[in-house]
Amino acid sequence: MMKLGFGFYRHMLTPANYDFAVQCGATHAVVHLVDYFYQGADRQNGHNQPVGNVELGWGYAGGTPDDAWSLEALLSLKAELNEAGLEFEAIENFDPAHWHDILLDGPKRAEQLARLKQIIRDVAAAGIPVFGYNFSIAGVSGRHVSTEARGGAETVGMCGIDEINTTPLPLGMVWNMVYDPQAPQGAQPQITHDELWRRLDGFLRELVPVAEAAGVRLAAHPDDPPLDYVRGQPRLVYQPHMYQRLLDIVPSDHNALEFCLGTLSEMTEGDIYEVCERYVKQGKVAYIHFRNVRGKVPNYTETFIDEGQIDMRRIMRILKDCGYDGMVIPDHTPQMSCAAPWHAGMAYAMGYIKALHLEVSS
Ligand SMILES: [Mn+2]
pLDDT greater than 60 at residue 43: no
Total domains present in the chain: 1
Q: Are 53 and 119 in contact (CB under 8 A)?
A: no
Other CB atoms closer than 10 Å to residue 274's CB: what's the count? 11
Question: How would residue 39 be classed by pLDDT, with cut points 50, 70 and 90?
Answer: confident
Beta bridge partners of 260: 289
> Among the listed ranges 42-46, 63-67, 299-303, which one has the minimum average pLDDT value?
42-46
pLDDT greater than 90 at residue 53: no
CA 66 to ligand 1 centroid distance, Å = 25
CATH number at residue 87: 3.20.20.150
CA 318 to ligand 1 centroid distance, Å = 19
pLDDT value of position 287: 98
pLDDT greater than 80 at residue 198: yes
pLDDT greater than 90 at residue 55: no
CA 53 to ligand 1 centroid distance, Å = 19
pLDDT value of position 44: 54
pLDDT value of position 49: 66
CA 98 to ligand 1 centroid distance, Å = 21
> Among the listed ranges 49-63, 241-255, 296-310, which one has the minimum average pLDDT value?
49-63
Question: How would residue 42 be classed by pLDDT, with cut points 50, 70 and 90?
Answer: low
The pLDDT of 183-187, averaged and rounded, is 95
If 0-12 CB within 10 Å is exposed, 13-18 middle and 19+ buried, where does residue 265 land? Answer: buried
What residues make up the domain containing 123? 3-361
pLDDT value of position 37: 80
CA 131 to ligand 1 centroid distance, Å = 14
Q: Rounded CA gap, 311 and 170, in Å?
A: 39
pLDDT greater than 60 at residue 112: yes
pLDDT value of position 318: 98
Q: Rounded CA gap, 261 and 353, in Å?
A: 13
CA 258 to ligand 1 centroid distance, Å = 8
pLDDT value of position 302: 98
The pLDDT of 166-179, averaged and rounded, is 94
CA 107 to ligand 1 centroid distance, Å = 30
pLDDT value of position 50: 66
User: Which is more confidently placed, 237 or 361?
Assistant: 237
pLDDT value of position 51: 73
CA 132 to ligand 1 centroid distance, Å = 10
Interior/surface letters 120-156, b for 16+ CB within 10 angstroms, e for the rest: bbbbbebebbbbbbbbbbbbbbbbbebebbeeebbbb
pLDDT value of position 317: 98
CA 182 to ligand 1 centroid distance, Å = 31
pLDDT value of position 179: 95
CA 154 to ligand 1 centroid distance, Å = 18
CA 92 to ligand 1 centroid distance, Å = 10
pLDDT greater than 80 at residue 300: yes
CA distances for 70 relative to 119, 121, 173, 310, 328, angstroms: 8, 10, 25, 39, 27
